[in-house]
Structure formats: structure tokens, C-alpha cells
A = this chain, B = another copy of it.
Amino acid sequence: MNEKKPLILITNDDGITSNGIRTLVSVAKEFGDVVVVAPDSPQSGMGHAITIGQPLRLHKTPLFENVESWQTSGTPVDCVKLARDKVLSRKPDICLSGINHGANHSINIIYSGTMSAAMEAAIEGIPSAGFSYVDYNFEADVSCCVPIVREVIQKMLETPLPQHTLLNVNIPKVSNEAYKGLKLCRQAYAKWQEEFDERIDPRGEKYYWMTGKFVNMDTEDNTDVEALKEGFASVVPIKFDFTDYEFKKQLATWWQLT
């Protein structure tokens, strides 16, 4: 492998055969040496799950031209961990995750395997980005994302991004004419309002399917949800220190703690 080229690790949560990862690989190849380590099956909604109670499989799977690629039985976060310990000979310059089939704006970052993989890379000190296309159709054509993904990768490689930094990039489903460019945003406060669909199985036992509708409860400016509605691709810089420093000050007074 040419040491002068950037080394780019790619993963996702929709699985190694998805349209999204294929498109991401094709763009990333323009910029450096690409290594793919991705789940062998769809892993949406896995969040930051890791596999500790079961063994993992890891197989070399040459799905992409001139790209070393591996599939694993693990979660998206497992993929990043396996890549570091078993696949890569050096720390990659950047890690890219996606392109996810479906939005990962606002609170979705918490449930998303795509974003959790990017966060795991950031914990490892690898600047990273997760890409998501606002279309849940697994067969959606994501080629409209290409120029946006290209722009973000270029900026990431040109900029000395701090370690432990990750970007959450969501791409709107709009025509080229309606697309307004990248916009820096904050994570919207939103939630999923679940309604479990109760059914009866053939043995007469109840079971439940999780369904729900997305509720944006954020009325302030500059959110990713708002930007996407307006036709921007949203970029939210994310950190993994979850300490609420503001509230910590209040709590110190209320509870008289040091």
C-alpha cells in the first residue's frame, strides 16, 4: 500500500452489499487507499452495541474493485474495532460510515449504527464522518449524494481536524437545482413517539412490532432538521463527552456537592 496516499476506512450499518456503501467507496477511492470492514447483514438501529457474549466472524470479501474489503458478523462498532486490531496495519487518516439509507439527523444519531461506527472511530482518535441520505428506501439511487460526499471528504483531508472529532452529514432528497449547499447545524431536539403494533402469533401469543412517528420538538434556529427541509445538506460536529457542564454547576449548588 502506498504510504503517501491517505488511508480511508469505510463501514456502514446497512451491510456490505448496500448501494450506499458502494457509492461511498467509489467516491473515497478518488482520494486514497480504501479498506472496507462492514457488517455481513443489515444492522440498522444497533446504536453503539458491541458483541461481547458471542464470538465474531471476519471474512475477506472482494466486492469492490481494487479495494481490500471484509465482512463481519458484528455490529457497526465491532467493525471499527476489528478493523483496528485485525485488518489495518496502521491507523487510518479518516473513517467514513454510510451512505445510510435513511436520515440520521437530530436524535437519530443515538440509535444509528452508522453514526455509532463513526463515533467509535473518533474515540480511537480517527477523524470521521457519517453520511446519510434522507430516503429510507433500501433500493434508492444514492448517486445524487456523490458531489456532497466528495466535498466533505476533500475538506476533511485538507483540514487538520482535531482527533476525537466526527461529523454527522445528512443529505436532502432534492433536485440539483433545489440543493443549497452544506450548512453547519446543531442536533435538533426531537424524539420518536412509539406506538407498538400488537399482534397475535399462530400460537395465540401476543407480540409487538415497534413503529412510531418522528416528532421534532425543537422550535429554535439552526437545527439539522430545519436545514434539510430548506434543501441544505446538514453538517453537525459531534463530540463524545456527554457531560452536561452547565447542569453540573446547578447540581453542585442544589445538592451541595463538590
Count contacts on A: residues with CB < 8 A to the other chain.
73
Given contact pairs A85-B194, A123-B107, A206-B58, A242 touches B242 in the complex (Cβ within 8 A) = yes
User: A208 contacts B55, CB within 8 Å?
Assistant: yes
User: A208 contacts B82, CB within 8 Å?
Assistant: yes
Given contact pairs A45-B51, A84-B194, A196-B82, A56 touches B210 in the complex (Cβ within 8 A) = yes
User: B255 contacts A244, CB within 8 Å?
Assistant: no
Chain A at the B interface: mostly helix, strand, loop or mixed?
mixed
> Closest B-chain residue to A82, C-beta based?
B196
Per the 8 Å Cβ criterion, residues 139-190 of A in contact with B are 155, 159, 162, 164-165, 182-184, 186-187, 189
User: B116 contacts A47, CB within 8 Å?
Assistant: yes
* Distance from A156 Cβ to chain B, minimum over Cβ atoms (Å): 10
User: A254 contacts B56, CB within 8 Å?
Assistant: no
What's the Cα separation between A162 and B244 when bound, in Å? 12
User: B247 contacts A236, CB within 8 Å?
Assistant: no
Residues of chain A touching chain B, judged by Cβ–Cβ distance below 8 Å, are: 42, 44-53, 55-58, 75, 77-78, 81-82, 84-86, 107, 109-111, 116, 119, 123-124, 155, 159, 162, 164-165, 182-184, 186-187, 189, 191, 194-196, 198-199, 205-210, 235-245, 247-248, 251-252, 254-255, 257-258
